[in-house]
Homo-oligomer: A and B are copies of this chain.
Amino acid sequence: MDVETKANKGNKTSKEKIFEINLMRKIELKPKRIKSKKELSMLYTPGIADVCLEIKKNETLVDKYTSKRNLIAIITDGSRILGLGNIGKYAGIPVMESKSLIYKKFGDVDAIPISLATQNKEEIITIVKGISPSFGGINLEDIENPKALEIHEQLSNELDIPVFHDDQQGTAFITLAGLINSLKIVKKDKNVKICIAGCGSAGIGITKLLLAYGFKNIIVSDSKGTIHRGITYLNKFKEEIAQQTNKENFWGNLQGALKGADVFIGVSGVGNLIKKEDIKQMNKDAIVFALTNPTPEIMPNEINDLNNVKIIATGRSDFPNQINNAIVFPGFMKFLLKNKIIKITLDMEILAAETIANSVKNINKNKIVPGVFSDVAKNLANMKI
């Protein structure tokens, strides 16, 4: 390597480095032994026929004699990739493939990314049901709402393998985990007032889990203001939120809802949604989770000096307290596969959140959730139900 090339190498922008590392063939099968013609004849025709007939006699043997037991499909239709919106059938694949790497690295789950050529709800359901026999689980990913929630509901009811909706469930587990630890630090209980900005997959998933965990004082807002009773929501999931939260039925905007709140959870998808002044209206020892990526609802350094703020978390790796789904999905999916769970229950979701919370050693205001390189995936995989 000559000096100039070396210098260029050293000077690579972070964008160049991103493109370089993403050149790797992320989805690649592990080569397995086939030593001889004899082995080939046992692994393939004619020998394999005996194994097929045995499974035909007893279908549960499919888990013993095939890879179904550890194989999942990551399904997207490209309609809501990260914060990038509807970028189509190809442009979302890198995210799904990287998700597969994370599944393998942290959970030893073999996850095959499948990006669909259709964005039609009924076709997506037909396709996922159609390919399900080969897989032990499904991870729905980055599908727009309310389609994603509807698909998740229907597939969870109709498939005989677990259907995990990471945007909804994964985000909820890690958020509740962070909240459990935060409340220990500020010594508050389930009576806190929680204000959630955003009523998509994440907002709905978080709200339902917080309600199940026992929080009673929750107000959710979307771009039109607080979700409340008195108007009709076409989206049935929002309608449920309207019925179950906002006990005083406050009609107003997010800023109004934030007054006197103990906890803010931002999953709005909108960067810089709120101002320092809004956070100032929160209670003493406020907990602020501004989780939208890449730009949070409010940047941590804007509110670091506020006396009433005790704990700040974001979705970013460059600040403390990164609330990141990668902490959740590898271990939780391994748990589902190991235990051959068909339907994910709220009890399992709560257990997952508590397991994540308990995976943090020496909780403090800058360490409310475990890191992805910690034991958290192992702890989730080994949960006992």
- CB of A62 within 8 Å of the partner chain: yes
* Interface contact B32-A18, CB-CB below 8 Å: no
Segment at the interface with B among A86-94, A242-250, A359-367: A86-94
Query: Which of B49, B134, B293 contacts A45 (CB under 8 A)?
Result: B293
* Interface contact A40-B127, CB-CB below 8 Å: no
Contact with B along A38-56 (1 / 0, CB 8 A): 1111111111111111111
* Interface contact A49-B294, CB-CB below 8 Å: yes
- CB of A29 within 8 Å of the partner chain: yes
- CB of A100 within 8 Å of the partner chain: yes
* Interface contact A26-B21, CB-CB below 8 Å: no
Bound Cα distance A132, B310 (Å):
49
Query: Which of B22, B50, B53, B371 contacts A51 (CB under 8 A)?
Result: B22
Residues of B within 8 A of A338 (CB): none
- CB of A131 within 8 Å of the partner chain: yes
* Interface contact A27-B130, CB-CB below 8 Å: no
Bound Cα distance A67, B26 (Å):
6
* Interface contact A27-B67, CB-CB below 8 Å: yes
Contact with B along A79-91 (1 / 0, CB 8 A): 0011110011111
Given A25-B70, A326-B40, CB of A18 within 8 Å of CB of B50: yes
- CB of A191 within 8 Å of the partner chain: no
Residues of B within 8 A of A62 (CB): 90-91, 93
Looking at A65, A104, A116, A134, which has the most chain B CB atoms within 10 Å of its CB?
Answer: A134
Given A50-B15, A55-B94, CB of A29 within 8 Å of CB of B32: no
How many residues in A have their beta carbons less than 8 Å from beta carbons of B? 98
Minimum distance in angstroms from A269 CB to a CB of chain B:
13
Least CB separation from A83: chain B residue: B49
Residues of B within 8 A of A55 (CB): 87, 90-91, 93-94
* Interface contact B44-A22, CB-CB below 8 Å: no
Least CB separation from A105: chain B residue: B34
Given A18-B48, A40-B102, A116-B133, 14 additional A-B pairs, CB 8 A: A21-B42, A25-B67, A27-B66, A29-B111, A34-B105, A43-B98, A52-B84, A52-B95, A66-B97, A68-B90, A112-B112, A115-B133, A116-B130, A116-B131
Closest 5 A-B residue pairs measured CB to CB? Answer: A27-B67, A56-B91, A89-B133, A127-B130, A62-B90
> What would be 25 A-B contacts, judged by CB atoms less than 8 Å apart?
A15-B50, A19-B50, A19-B65, A21-B43, A25-B70, A26-B66, A27-B67, A29-B30, A29-B104, A30-B30, A40-B372, A43-B101, A45-B294, A46-B294, A48-B94, A48-B98, A49-B83, A52-B84, A55-B87, A56-B84, A66-B90, A66-B97, A96-B134, A114-B134, A126-B130
